[in-house]
Amino acid sequence: MSTDQSTPRVPDVENPQPTMPLTEDIRPGTANDPPVEIVERDRTADADRAATLTVDGESVTVSAESTLLDATEAIDTDDYVPALCSYDDHDEIGPRSECRTCMVETEEHGVVPSCSFPAEDGMTVRTDTTEASEARDVNLDLLLSNHNLRCTTCGKNGRCELQDVSIENDVAEPRYGVFDERDAYEPLDDSSPFIQIDRNKCILCNRCVEACNDVQVEGVLRIEGSGEDTRIGFQNDAETMMDSTCVSCGHCATVCPTGALVEQGLTDAATIPAPGFTQKNSIGKTVEAENDRFQPGQATPMKGDQGDESAAEPTAESPATEDD
Amino acid sequence: MATPKGAIGNEPVVRIAVGGEHDGTDRLNAARDTAETVDVVAVGPTGVEALAPLVLATRDGATAFLPRCTVEDARTAVEALEDGSLPDGGPTVEHDPTTSTLPLPPEETMVSTALTAGVRRALGGCGWQAPASVADYRTSCDGALLAEDGIDDPDAVHERVADAALRGRGRGDGSTDDPISGAWTTASETDGEPVVVVNANEADDHARADRLLLESAPLAVLDAALATAHAVDATDVLVYTNDTESLARERAQEAADALAAECDSPVPIQVVAGPDEYTAGEMTMALEAMEGNDRLEARRRPPGPAEYGLYGRPTVIHTPRTFAQVGQALAGEGLGGVPGDPGTRLFTVAGDVDAPATIELPTDATLADVRGAVALDGGLKTACVGGRFGGLTRDLDVPASASGLRGARLGTNGVIELFDESTCTVALAGRRAKLAREENCGRCVPCREGSKQLVDLLRDVYDGEYQDGMLRELARTMRETSTCEFGQEASRPVTTAMESFEPEFRAHADGRCPSGSCDGVSS
């Protein structure tokens, strides 16, 4: 009997989800997450219907599609809820609910991530229970354990969300230490004249990927790898920013909560002068720009080639088609 | 399409078990070459590796067992039946000629006691019914297919499953340890056309029950899945297996074709493969794999697959083990077991044993019953119950129900690995933590970064520092805050080892490995 029957990985079933016609073939590398709003099975279709819940003893009313984080942000909570990876400035970015520094305790569902948990009418939420507080603190320290904490040479010093929440949360000594193995540092990607990438500062919040794919629809960035090898990579499998299809729009750097993606002009905008210390020598390894590949425009050479493919084809007049 | 020929009632017949770890395809070919008038039928494995490859020769209501059958034995068995006798050399059992389940010879006559350990209800047809023969399968459900009843009265299917309070089984089930009817109700009430997924993808080599069911009794699984599809008004049934498990996939496809030919159901059954990675069996990563995502990652929840599943459609996702129980509930027999978790559970017993065996225990039995199924080299020191991220225990006197296993802090994915005195529990827990560090999808911080710190804290034990408070705090956070079951369960081997074998952790910190198996303990 034959055992080499090949089976399609993608079944032939209807996909009712709308897909936008794209000029880019975008491979997101991230999960097809559900929408946040709770499916209102037992309610009438009234989108404006509010949910009233109790947060730290206080009654809070939010719109039906809100999260618990929206409810906690509406009042002064008893404990600080960092919600580091959460981004609420744009519909198409997050909530990713990856860092888990926003855990709160609910009577109904136990400890849950507030950034993505739908606010249900009648819920009772507490931010100050031992379990929720421990979970937030441990997860913030876990983030720091994999973060290159060289703030004084970082271009995002003073405008870094991780720095802000660490200060706000009174982190004096992260319990798992900080990422300080220079041998394990990834090289600084300084190849592009517009965006610098320092993956040693990346918390994998996915904001840059969503800004690039879902907002700008450029399809340059993606998450690649798994486990401890998970990293921000490029959809065209390039190793460096210069070899990617980046158009240097800068949206990724704008939404990045740390110093992982920084506009080149700002890489030393906020550093504290310390003799002999720069970001580059603190990392140790750098992928430098190649002078001969300096971008004439904002698009990388790869992106430029895409728009100019016909010019690369031999034409009737070109010497390649002529016989000797 | 004609349904494949069955084995039941067509005497004389030789059944050759094809599948499992000891594939009997060469025996099958030899027997077919030899046979002139005798039927030779490929059946699935029994789940008992010590007997494999197993050949059964049946005539006149009696079956001769030929465990560990050679090619030559298979030929001789066919010749014996051709001559009007039963082959010599193995135990023989008399039975009703139309029995739908494997008749069992007396325990003392067999080379393994695993067939007679526990009960064989979900496993009853394994090794006896021709996998894709609807005729054989019909003998076990009194003639009427569950899916046929499901078309006629879908609400009755849902009611019977709800009344039975049946709980989901195994890793990768949408309702693991929870009553499944809640997810059915949610899926059928959510906007969109529901899908039913049979999730058989499992990369843990010790967890073999789902693969066994698809190789040996795929019709029992698919018939129940099709009945479920009618109950929740689903438009598709998908069977999801590992990439490498081609026999399970092939038999599921044959069974799907046979079922479609017999049963006038508008719901198609498709068989698809996912990658052979441990994470690919997790329920939302299974959906991601089926959607063709280029990188597997757990989905954020809530809402779960019942509301937002394959392509965002409401999805009922269960393991073959759960569907086998659905089939038992719909067949109308009393499920038995404890009322809170009725029915049976399948356990594959592995580890330091002569040969792994998949056996079935009613939920009111205790795990200790598995000891009778296998021969353990040396004395039992530790059992890891519940798969790769199961709980470590010395004590198997634990009920085989979801609440019993959970109460004992053990896992409910049906695997029981038995380890002898030479196994170091600290090292065993450390290997499982390392697996978590290497295999996680990389999405959430408590799992991705937590598993790294977990391994580091265990390394510190070897360096002389046992920080039990730090370990417990980290394990708690991973359990409480990880996105999916992978991270929630990843620390369980460590925490249960700390509970039951704490002196060993202290000994390692003092530079000594009590079982003498760890190199590199500081001295």
Question: The CATH number of the domain where B502 resides is what?
Answer: 1.20.1440.230
Same domain as B354, residue B481: no
| Burial letters B388-402, b for 16+ CB under 10 A, else e | bbbbbbeebebbbbb
Check whether A318 has a pLDDT greater than 50: no
Same domain as B104, residue B141: no
Angle, CA B502 vertex, CA B501 and CA B503 arms, to 5°: 95
Q: If you count them, how many residues does chain A have?
A: 324
What distance in Å separates the CA atoms of residue B29 and residue B21, rounded to the nearest whole number?
18
Question: The CATH number of the domain where B143 resides is what?
Answer: 3.40.50.11540
Same domain as B269, residue B166: yes
Same domain as B378, residue B305: no
Set of chain B residues whose Cβ sits within 8 Å of the Cβ of A116: 300
From B420, B449, B478, the end of a domain falls on B420
Three-state secondary-structure class, residue B315: strand
Check whether A46 has a pLDDT greater than 80: no
Same domain as B262, residue B161: yes
Domain membership of residue B79 (yes or no) is: yes
- Check CB contact under 8 Å for B445 and A139: yes
Q: If you count them, how many residues does chain B have?
A: 523
Question: Among A27, A134, A223, whose Cβ lies nearest the Cβ of B473?
Answer: A134
What distance in Å separates the CA atoms of residue A183 and residue A81, rounded to the nearest whole number?
34
What rounded mean pLDDT belongs to chain A? 84
Tell me what the mean pLDDT of segment A158-179 comes to.
Answer: 94
- Check CB contact under 8 Å for A175 and B290: no
Question: Among B291, B439, B453, whose Cβ lies nearest the Cβ of A176?
Answer: B453
What distance in Å separates the CA atoms of residue B202 and residue B244, rounded to the nearest whole number?
11
**pLDDT number for residue A24:** 67
Same domain as B140, residue B92: no
| Burial letters A209-218, b for 16+ CB under 10 A, else e | bbbbbbbbeb
What distance in Å separates the CA atoms of residue A313 and residue B276, rounded to the nearest whole number?
42
Residue of B nearest to A84 (CA): B445
Q: Does B443 touch chain A (CB under 8 A)?
A: yes
- Check CB contact under 8 Å for B191 and A39: yes
Gap from B115 CA to chain A (nearest CA, Å): 27
| Segment A70-124, tens digit of pLDDT | 999 999 999 999 999 999 776 789 899 999 999 999 999 999 999 999 999 999 9
Q: Does B274 touch chain A (CB under 8 A)?
A: yes
A153 confidence band (pLDDT: 50, 70, 90)? confident
Gap from A277 CA to chain B (nearest CA, Å): 29
What distance in Å separates the CA atoms of residue B17 and residue B68, rounded to the nearest whole number?
11
- Check CB contact under 8 Å for B449 and A143: yes
Gap from B109 CA to chain A (nearest CA, Å): 33
Set of chain B residues whose Cβ sits within 8 Å of the Cβ of A111: 480-481
Query: Which B-chain residues 298-317 have CB contacts (< 8 A) with chain A?
Result: 298-303, 307-308, 310-313
**pLDDT number for residue A181:** 87
Name B497's bridge partners. Answer: none
Set of chain A residues whose Cβ sits within 8 Å of the Cβ of B287: 32
Gap from B85 CA to chain A (nearest CA, Å): 29
Nearest Cα residue to A222 out of A190, A248, A252? A252
Gap from B472 CA to chain A (nearest CA, Å): 12
- Check CB contact under 8 Å for A30 and B295: yes
Three-state secondary-structure class, residue B417: strand
Three-state secondary-structure class, residue B48: strand
Order the strands of the B415-420 sheet from edge to edge. B357-362, B344-351, B415-420, B380-385, B391-393
Give the 3-state DSSP-derived string for B185-241, with helices as H, strands as E and coil as C. Answer: HHHHHCCCCCEEEEECCCCCCCCCHHHHHHHHCHHHHHHHHHHHHHHCCCCEEEEEE
Same domain as B359, residue B323: no
pTM check: above 0.90: yes
Domain membership of residue B338 (yes or no) is: no
Q: Does B450 touch chain A (CB under 8 A)?
A: yes
**pLDDT number for residue B521:** 66
Domain membership of residue B520 (yes or no) is: no
**pLDDT number for residue B25:** 94
Number of structural domains chain B divides into: 4
Same domain as B429, residue B408: no
What distance in Å separates the CA atoms of residue A99 and residue B445, rounded to the nearest whole number?
5
CATH of A49-140, one of 3.30.70.260, 3.10.20.740, 3.40.50.300, 3.30.1540.20: 3.10.20.740
Check whether A165 has a pLDDT greater than 50: yes
Same domain as B57, residue B142: no
Print the domain residue range for B371: 344-420
Residues A205/A85, Cβ–Cβ less than 8 Å: yes
- Check CB contact under 8 Å for A17 and B312: yes
Same domain as B215, residue B172: yes
- Check CB contact under 8 Å for B308 and A34: yes
**pLDDT number for residue A309:** 45
Check whether A299 has a pLDDT greater than 80: no
Set of chain A residues whose Cβ sits within 8 Å of the Cβ of B271: 7
- Check CB contact under 8 Å for B296 and A226: yes
Query: Which B-chain residues 184-223 have CB contacts (< 8 A) with chain A?
Result: 186, 189-193, 195
- Check CB contact under 8 Å for B312 and A99: no
- Check CB contact under 8 Å for B448 and A103: no
Query: Cα–chain-centroid distance for residue A294?
Result: 27
Check whether A39 has a pLDDT greater than 60: no
DSSP A22: -
From B420, B449, B477, the end of a domain falls on B420
Same domain as B349, residue B364: yes
Gap from A315 CA to chain B (nearest CA, Å): 37
Establish whether the linkage from the previous residue to B91 is cis, with ω within 30° of 0.
Answer: no
Gap from A181 CA to chain B (nearest CA, Å): 14
Check whether A182 has a pLDDT greater than 90: no
Helix and strand tally (H, E) in chain A?
8, 11
- Check CB contact under 8 Å for B439 and A131: no
Residue of B nearest to A34 (CA): B308
Interface test with A, best of B249, B290, B480, B488 (most A CBs within 10 A): B480
**pLDDT number for residue A136:** 98
Same domain as B394, residue B300: no
Check whether A9 has a pLDDT greater than 80: no
Delimit the domains of chain A by residue range.
49-140, 153-166+183-288
CA atoms within 13 A on the CB side of B141: 25
For β-strands B357-362 and B391-393, DSSP reports them as: unpaired
- Check CB contact under 8 Å for B288 and A32: yes
Question: Among B246, B288, B446, whose Cβ lies nearest the Cβ of A31?
Answer: B288
**pLDDT number for residue A269:** 75
* Domain A153-166+183-288 in this protein, CATH class: alpha beta
From B394, B420, B446, the end of a domain falls on B420
Domain membership of residue B380 (yes or no) is: yes
Question: Among A16, A134, A135, whose Cβ lies nearest the Cβ of B313?
Answer: A16
For β-strands A231-234 and A221-224, DSSP reports them as: antiparallel
Residues A198/A160, Cβ–Cβ less than 8 Å: no
A9 Cβ neighbours under 8 A, 6+ residues apart: B272, B273, B274, B289, B290, B292
**pLDDT number for residue A20:** 66
Full pLDDT tens readout for chain B, 523 residues: 556 789 998 889 999 999 998 889 999 999 999 999 999 999 999 999 999 999 999 999 999 999 999 999 999 999 999 999 999 988 999 999 999 999 999 988 888 999 999 999 999 999 999 999 999 999 988 878 999 988 889 999 999 999 999 999 999 999 999 999 999 999 999 999 999 999 999 999 999 999 999 999 999 999 999 999 999 999 999 999 999 999 999 999 999 999 999 988 999 999 999 999 999 999 999 999 999 998 999 999 999 999 999 999 999 999 999 999 999 999 877 899 999 999 999 999 999 998 999 999 999 999 999 998 999 878 999 999 999 999 999 999 999 999 999 999 999 999 999 999 999 999 999 999 999 999 999 999 999 999 999 999 999 999 999 999 999 999 999 999 999 999 999 999 999 999 999 999 999 999 999 999 997 664 4
Q: What does the block give as tokens for B428?
A: 């065993």
